[in-house]
Structure formats: structure tokens, C-alpha cells
Amino acid sequence: MAVEEYLITAAARLLEQWLPAGPWRFEVVRGSVPGTEWDPALAWEHARFPRTGRRFPVAVESLKFDENPGFHAGQRAASGRPDAAAAHVIALLREVIERDCGPLPAHLRSLIAFLAGVLTEWDCEDLLRLHMAAEPGGPPLDGELHLFVRDLDGETCRLSLTPDAPRPAALDARIEWLTTLLGEFLWVGRDKPVDFTVTVVAHGLDLGSDAEAALRAWRRFADDDLRPMDGAALARVVADTERAAADLALAVFEGDAESGVGHLVAVLLRDLFDTIADRIGGGLRASLPAFGTGWPLKFAGEGARLVLVGPRLTAVITVDDRH
């Protein structure tokens, strides 16, 4: 199984944005080890640290674990059932982060567990901790974490957590991370994840004071069975959908309600709506003209569409939950 860098990156960057204190920066670097000969010392050569002179290798620590290959390791870990490799990574990440942040809320613990699971799920052969110093021969740096994993085929991934300023998150990228993770937790069939598609386009209309009339005049949605929703109705729809999504995530992966996976999915969904509202320039979603069909989502295979209208941009959220 290939390194799922897109999942590792989505989870790491969202965690970077959500952490209550810091600042923290995650770096995800994918690579490979050519040939069949392998020694942990080669991790320095293949970890691909930036050649800036800011980090120097001190030691490589091999983290032992019982092999437990299988799919959906990230989802299982987030649901409170990590395998041994993921459990190692969860403990290390929480130790570093909670040293500054204190105990984390349930949804952040669940996201950390998911990140640990997807980092180590692809037939993880080696799990190493790389200890770094600020100068050659110096003491190991405290308060940061560098992990290096290698699979049976020689594919590698380095995950680094350092106390640096996080990178600004483009809203389109954040929307993509959120929809990606929602699709990982919400499944309506044995092999059918729920698909969230978000399209943002310029509407080119002078909305004036009658946004509904302007939207009806826009031919793109002339045949859709869209119904207007005021701020209160939209809030109810979002809240009801969050509850249904949390229940579905718990059911699909047999999650422990105390694990926070249900809360994580609800927060992902809420953040998606809020990020879309920011993207189209309207700010708070409760103040945007909204039109929808199929809401609140019950994940019964009927699909849904929501249109949020900003001053210049329109966002269309389409949900495909067919089996």
C-alpha cells in the first residue's frame, strides 16, 4: 500500500490550525529507500531535512511494536482502538503537544489518533524517532518531535512537529482537507464513502436587497428544487447534520463514544461550513442567503445540495451519499 501522504498532510495541517496554543508547525515529507539493504542509520540520509544548518542528528531510536497490518488504521485509532504502532505515535505526539497546551479536548485527541494511524498503517516495517540538536554534538532539542516510518516496499515518510509559526492556510486548501477527512469517516456502504464536493464561482450578479430573486434568475440553478433558508433554519440544519454525521461515524467504525470520533466529525463538518462562508466573503454563515435541498442530511442515499451566496461569490456544496 502506498504512502497516503494526502491523508497525513490533511490531518497534520488541520491539527496545526486547530491546536489551542503553540505555535506548532507540522512537516510531512515523503521519500523512498532504494534497494533492499536497510539500516536505521540511513534514516538521516533519507529523512530529507532542509539543509539550513538548523538541525543536526544526534541519535536514532527504533520504536518496537507488534505488527498489526490492516486497512482503516487511522479510523480505528480515532475510534479508540489504535494498533501498537499508532499507539506509540499517539503517545509521543500528545506528550509534546500537551506539555504546552495541557489536556486536549476529545476532537483533537481523536484527530491526533487518526494522524498516527494513517502514518503507520501502510505495512509499517520501521518506526523511528530521530533526535535532533541545534548544533553539531549538542544536546537533543526538547519540545519537538521527528518521526520516520518505512514500509515493506521502501516507501518512507517523515513527520516533524516543531514549535514554529504555522504556515498560513489557504481557504481552498482547508476546504479540501476537511472534505477529504469527512469522506474517510462517513461511509454509507461497504466501499462507498460519502462524497462532499464544494464549488466556488463568481455569480456576476448585483444581488441588491433581493438575493432570492437574483439566485432564481441565475440559470445554473433554475431546475434545482432549492428552498430558501434563513439564518435560524440554516443553524438547525447544520446542527442536525452534525448529529447524524457523528452517529454514522461511530456506527461505521464501532467507535467508543468517549474516544471523541463523533465529536471530531461534527467539528469537521462545522468547520467546513464556516470555512466556506469565509471563502465567499460573507463571514458568518448565519448572515448569508442560503438555499438547499436534502437537508438536514440523514445519510439515507438521497443526496443534498446547499448554496451559500456571498457578495461576489457563490459556494455550492453537493453531497453524494448513495450506496
> Who's near 258: CB < 8 A, 6+ residues apart?
80, 106
Cα distance between residue 189 and residue 122, in whole Å: 23
Cα distance between residue 269 and residue 178, in whole Å: 8
Q: Give the residue with greater pLDDT, 176 vs 44.
A: 176
The neighbour count for residue 76, using CB atoms within 10 Å, is 23
And the C-alpha cell for 283? 463571514
And the C-alpha cell for 169? 492556510
User: What average pLDDT does range 254-262 have in this prediction?
Assistant: 81
pLDDT of residue 71: 73
Q: Is the pLDDT of residue 289 over 50?
A: yes
User: What average pLDDT does range 190-208 have in this prediction?
Assistant: 85
pLDDT of residue 166: 83
Cα distance between residue 288 and residue 74, in whole Å: 35
User: What average pLDDT does range 239-249 have in this prediction?
Assistant: 94
Q: Residue 112, class by beta-carbon neighbours within 10 Å (0-12 exposed, 13-18 middle, 19+ buried)?
A: buried
pLDDT of residue 209: 57
Residue 310 phi/psi, 5° resolution?
A: -100, -175
pLDDT of residue 49: 72
154, 34 contact by CB (below 8 A): yes
Band of the pLDDT at 69, cuts 50, 70, 90? low
pLDDT of residue 219: 47
> Who's near 70: CB < 8 A, 6+ residues apart?
76, 83, 121
And the C-alpha cell for 205? 450578479
Q: How many CA atoms lie within 13 A of 204 on its CB side?
A: 5
The neighbour count for residue 82, using CB atoms within 10 Å, is 24
Sheet with 290-293: strands ordered across = 195-202, 313-320, 304-309, 290-293, 227-229
The neighbour count for residue 30, using CB atoms within 10 Å, is 15
pLDDT digits (tens, 9 = 90+) for 77-130: 999 999 888 999 999 999 999 998 899 999 999 999 999 999 988 778 888 999
Sign of CA dihedral 213, 215, 218, 224: negative
What does the mean pLDDT of the chain come to? 85
pLDDT of residue 263: 94
Q: Is the pLDDT of residue 55 over 50?
A: yes
Alpha-carbon distances of 319 from 63, 180, 183, 242, 251, rounded to whole Å: 41, 13, 10, 14, 19
